[in-house]
Amino acid sequence: MTSQERDDDVVLEAGEYVLGTAAPDERDAFEQRLKTDPAARRELAYWERRLGSLGLGLAPVQPPAAVWDRVSETLSLGDTRTAATPRSQAPAANDSRFWRGAAIAATLVALVLGGILLSQPTYHHGFGEPDPPHAYTSIVYDDPTGTGWLVTAWAGDDEMQVVALGDYEVPEGKVLRAWLKPEEGEPMPLGTWPHSKGGYNMTLSEATVKRMAPPAKLMVSMEDAGTSDQTRSAPAGKLMWSAPILSRAG
Amino acid sequence: MAEREQLAAWLTATAQGDERAFQQLYAATSSQLYALLLRILRSPERAQDALQDAYVKVWQKADTYTPERGAPLTWLLSIARYRALDVLRRKRPEVAMPEEPDMMATLLEDEQALSPLEENENQQSLDAIRACLKTLQPQQRDSVLLAYYEGLTHQELSQRLDAPLGTVKSWIRRGLMRLRECLSERAS
């Protein structure tokens, strides 16, 4: 093994250790190596810094105050119970709707960062926990501008949440409109598609809720402003993006 | 005081048993750690348990933090993420926070590790890795991000991405090497 190969070896071992993909025996071996090998410790610190910064891309979510109480109690700290609540109190994190929204926001950055999860199959919970509410998600991503939208619709809800990560420039006199393209049949209008950064709720008709399941697709077209999408059975303007709708546990 | 310095000061004081500083550190950083734990563990209950464990570990290990290990928040995120991996791999031996008695000496040998970080290093660091992730091939990038944000193993990645195990391992390794090269190029 050359010196370069040895260098690459420790880079990869440390990277996989931090990433968490190392197999148990590899992880044990690396932990042993850490005890004697400065290069391994250096690489470990490197990857913790570098990969750790990915966690900075998530929108913060305020934990319930009870967590601090438990920390304080475990460590037998002084009278600091609930004193660690931040100055601006966020909505209760055990409120299911808030948590779902927060999770979506936190997820969005991760998803758009790589635009990766378009191909993500259904997520399966483990550990014997009950399945969370079923959700449909879709990610619309404009490669040239890097603008992303995360779409989530929850089974049983007549609203669809759309989070736009950035602003997308729409020419004057034009408007973006969203469409649901079921497996069979014509596109169904969903309404005006947001082009400014922020979170939006779009009301869904009963008909569209029923046909949301994969392999349906979400389409967005550029239409003339002033024309009602409700009167159309199909986009008349340019099709801008088409993204698969994924079924996943919440 | 800048965020990095403030957090580092609280960490230092925490290492000396200053409960008030620890409390302030928690108030300032727990929402970021909780977001990551929710993302990986997908359950408020498990994320809250892991958050509790992570801060217990922070209290116990605060004395091992040095500025050379990166921004305080990044270090805290690493602790939380190790804890999340523990939860995900409960049947496997614990991923311990590595003991690094000679870390400081080692880092002193490493010019790159000694580079002073900017005030807004968090954003710069995130920007750098995002830019470098864009240079990876899609499968490499997907594998690295799924492993980071969902804590997936090689085997789970293989199933998730519907690709042979060996192929997934190769994507991860090549992705990490490419990331390392790109980040080094940007730092130079």
Q: What is the ipTM of this complex?
A: 0.82
Is B94 in the A-facing interface, judged by CB distances under 8 Å?
A: no
Mean pLDDT of B56-65: 90
> What CATH number is given to the structural domain containing B107?
1.10.1740.10
Please check the confidence at residue A87 and state whether its pLDDT lies above 50: no
Number of domains in chain B: 2
Tens digits of per-residue pLDDT, A109-134?
A: 444 443 333 322 222 222 223 333 45
Question: What are the Cα distances from residue B106, in Å, to A76, B137, B164?
Answer: 35, 33, 38
Q: Which of A81-90, A230-239, B50-59, B139-148 has the lowest mean pLDDT?
A: A81-90
Kindly determine whether residue A38 and residue B102, on different chains, have CB atoms separated by under 8 Å.
yes
Are A124 and A205 within one domain?
Answer: yes
Question: What average pLDDT does the structure give for chain B?
Answer: 80
Q: Which of B46, B73, B92 sits opposite A56 (nearest CB)?
A: B73
pLDDT value of position A124: 25
| Residue that finishes a domain, picked among B98, B116, B134 | B116
- Alpha-helix residue ranges (DSSP H) falling in A94-137: 96-114
Kindly determine whether residue A55 and residue B81, on different chains, have CB atoms separated by under 8 Å.
yes
Contacts of B78 in chain A (CB under 8 A): 18, 48, 52
Are B86 and B8 within one domain?
Answer: yes
Tens digits of per-residue pLDDT, A211-249?
A: 888 888 899 999 988 766 555 667 888 999 988 887 654
Are B54 and B94 within one domain?
Answer: yes
**Two structure tokens written together for A43:** 């690489």
Q: Which of A44, A55, A119 sits opposite B36 (nearest CB)?
A: A55
The residue type found at A204 is: L
Closest chain B CA to residue A32: B98
Kindly determine whether residue A44 and residue B100, on different chains, have CB atoms separated by under 8 Å.
yes
* Cis bond before residue A215 (omega within 30° of 0): yes
In a domain? residue A106: no
Residue length, chain A? 250
Are B6 and B62 within one domain?
Answer: yes
Contact status, residue A179 vs residue A189, Cβ threshold 8 Å:
yes
% of chain B at pLDDT higher than 90: 40
Distance from the A210 Cα atom to the nearest Cα atom in chain B, whole angstroms: 26
Are A196 and A122 within one domain?
Answer: yes
Q: Which of B38, B98, B160 sits opposite A106 (nearest CB)?
A: B38
Are A182 and A233 within one domain?
Answer: yes
> What CATH number is given to the structural domain containing A121?
2.60.40
Are A176 and A194 within one domain?
Answer: yes
Are A72 and A188 within one domain?
Answer: no
Contact status, residue A43 vs residue A8, Cβ threshold 8 Å:
no
Separation between Cα atoms, residue A41 and residue B98, nearest integer Å? 9
Residue A227 per-residue DSSP state: S
In a domain? residue A99: no
Greatest Cα-to-Cα distance within chain A, rounded to the nearest angstrom: 72
Tens digits of per-residue pLDDT, A140-171?
A: 877 777 777 777 777 667 778 777 777 889 99
Q: Which of A44, A56, A85 sits opposite B126 (nearest CB)?
A: A56
Are B40 and B53 within one domain?
Answer: yes
Are A240 and A128 within one domain?
Answer: yes
Question: What are the Cα distances from residue B57, in Å, to A71, B62, B101?
Answer: 10, 8, 17
| Residue that finishes a domain, picked among B116, B147, B168 | B116
Domain range enclosing B98: 1-116
pLDDT value of position A79: 57
Mean pLDDT of A34-39: 87
Please check the confidence at residue B3 and state whether its pLDDT lies above 90: no
% of chain A at pLDDT higher than 90: 18
3-state secondary structure of A195: coil
Are B133 and B109 within one domain?
Answer: no
**CA A84, A88, A90, A91 torsion: positive or negative?**
positive
Contacts of B83 in chain A (CB under 8 A): none
Q: CA angle B173-B177-B178, nearest 5°?
A: 115
Kindly determine whether residue A24 and residue B93, on different chains, have CB atoms separated by under 8 Å.
yes
Element holding B140 (H helix, E strand): helix B138-150
| Residue that finishes a domain, picked among B83, B116, B149 | B116
Kindly determine whether residue B126 and residue A16, on different chains, have CB atoms separated by under 8 Å.
no
Contacts of B123 in chain A (CB under 8 A): 56
Are A51 and A65 within one domain?
Answer: no
Tens digits of per-residue pLDDT, B112-162?
A: 332 333 336 677 777 888 888 888 888 898 889 889 988 888 988 888 888
Number of domains in chain A: 3
How many interface pairs between A and B have CB atoms less than 8 angstroms apart? 232
In a domain? residue A41: yes
Please check the confidence at residue B96 and state whether its pLDDT lies above 80: no
Are B81 and B149 within one domain?
Answer: no
3-state secondary structure of A243: strand
Is B97 in the A-facing interface, judged by CB distances under 8 Å?
A: no
Are B99 and B148 within one domain?
Answer: no
pLDDT value of position A15: 95
Domain range enclosing A27: 3-57
Are B153 and B106 within one domain?
Answer: no
pLDDT value of position A143: 72
